[in-house]
Amino acid sequence: MTKGAVAARKLPSGDVVVTFCTDQAKQWHSTNLQWIQQAFGTQATEAKRTTAVLLKGLRKSDLQGVTEATFQADLGPAVETVRFRLPRDPKTTRATALVAFTSLEEARKACDQGLLWRAQLFDCEPYWDVLRPTQCYKCWAWGHIQRYCQKQALCGRCGTKAHGEGGRAGEAQCPTYSGELPYRCAGCGGKHPAWARECPKKQTAYATAREAYQYRPRTFEPTAQPTQPAQQPAQPTQPTQDTGNDDFQYVPYHKRARLATPIQKQIDQAFPYRQLQPTIHQNLATATHTPKSQQ
């Protein structure tokens, strides 16, 4: 492999993640990139880990004549890539952009303070792919894409094995065009193509995305820093009341302090029972044993 590398892992996308033994070795290999071509071929390049945010509220009229490269350059060197997401409905006047940052701190700053572009301040939030339903064009199931699909290729019109070489060329050979076979959805088995709007699988996927929208993250949580516990002064032992049940004395349960993050508040409001039901092992942990000789 290369000096200083301790492991390599191939991702489903085909990319390879290389782990180095020290930060110094990682920094050296990030600066001297000639080892990449030597180890993986002349076409290989370095792919930096990025953090994506969704920039909202762009006017479609403002994007006339603006390329993604120009937009990226205007945002500054902290941005690695930009992808415009233009609505299909011509009546919609607003668009969004997917902005990938090379630094988590820069992505968090964009979510907290917004992004400035041409004297306009735009709101940003972490990109969450759960909010965008995806359908595989190989097996026509929902929840993944063709690039990572390991299932058999199916025809989206008749639901049988893909015709010919598959894809658009194979679809043109489907017997539904000549009336030999009726439509049959490969996802639900209904009498419609797999991409039809009335498909129950599609409607369920979009309903799940709409429900998840209200629980979407609004910013990136800060990295927790290890801290030393503060020394508490010793408290005098308080006598406990004998319950008359063997030799065990029970003290009241005290709820632990919770980190009141915005996401946690939303979850607590949606599921209030999470705050009211302590677990069994927590109740057992509050029991203390007092010998009879000390009572």
Pairwise pLDDT comparison (88 vs 167), residue with the higher score: 88
Q: Residue 62: its pLDDT value, please?
A: 94
The verdict on 30 and 55 lying in the same domain is no
CA distance 209 to 203: 10
CA distance 107 to 95: 20
Examine residue 162 and state whether it is found in any structural domain, yes or no. yes
Examine residue 65 and state whether it is found in any structural domain, yes or no. yes
Each residue's pLDDT tens digit, 117-146: 999 999 999 998 888 899 999 999 999 988
Each residue's pLDDT tens digit, 140-152: 999 998 888 889 9
Q: Residue 71: its pLDDT value, please?
A: 96
Tell me the β-bridge partners of 154: 161
Examine residue 231 and state whether it is found in any structural domain, yes or no. no
Got the DSSP string for 213-246? HTT--SSPPPPPPP-PPPPPPPPPPPP----SST
Each residue's pLDDT tens digit, 147-191: 888 899 999 999 999 988 777 788 888 999 988 999 999 999 999
Examine residue 62 and state whether it is found in any structural domain, yes or no. yes
The verdict on 21 and 86 lying in the same domain is no
Examine residue 184 and state whether it is found in any structural domain, yes or no. yes
The verdict on 69 and 113 lying in the same domain is yes
pTM for the model stands at: 0.61
Examine residue 138 and state whether it is found in any structural domain, yes or no. no
Q: How many CB atoms lie within 10 A of CB 115?
A: 21
Got the DSSP string for 82-94? EEEE--S-TT--E
The verdict on 68 and 104 lying in the same domain is yes
Strands (E) in 211-292, as ranges, are: 248-250, 287-289
Q: Residue 225: its pLDDT value, please?
A: 62
Q: Please say whether the beta carbons of 55 and 124 come within 8 A.
A: yes
The verdict on 102 and 166 lying in the same domain is no
Q: Residue 256: its pLDDT value, please?
A: 39
CATH of the domain at 110: 3.30.70.330
The verdict on 120 and 174 lying in the same domain is no
Q: Residue 99: its pLDDT value, please?
A: 96
Which residue range(s) make up the domain with 85? Answer: 51-127
CA distance 159 to 192: 10
CA distance 153 to 6: 38
The verdict on 68 and 20 lying in the same domain is no
Backbone region of residue 246 per phi and psi (left: phi > 0; alpha: psi in -120 to 50; beta: other values): left
Q: Residue 237: its pLDDT value, please?
A: 54
The verdict on 15 and 71 lying in the same domain is no
The verdict on 71 and 123 lying in the same domain is yes
Q: Please say whether the beta carbons of 190 and 199 come within 8 A.
A: yes
Examine residue 93 and state whether it is found in any structural domain, yes or no. yes
Each residue's pLDDT tens digit, 189-241: 999 999 999 999 999 999 999 999 888 888 888 766 666 665 666 565 555 44
pLDDT of 266 > 90? The answer is no
Examine residue 291 and state whether it is found in any structural domain, yes or no. no
In total, how many domains does the chain have?
Answer: 3
CA distance 29 to 6: 13
The verdict on 154 and 184 lying in the same domain is yes
Residue with tokens 């199916």: 154
Three-state secondary structure call for residue 117: strand
Q: Residue 61: its pLDDT value, please?
A: 92
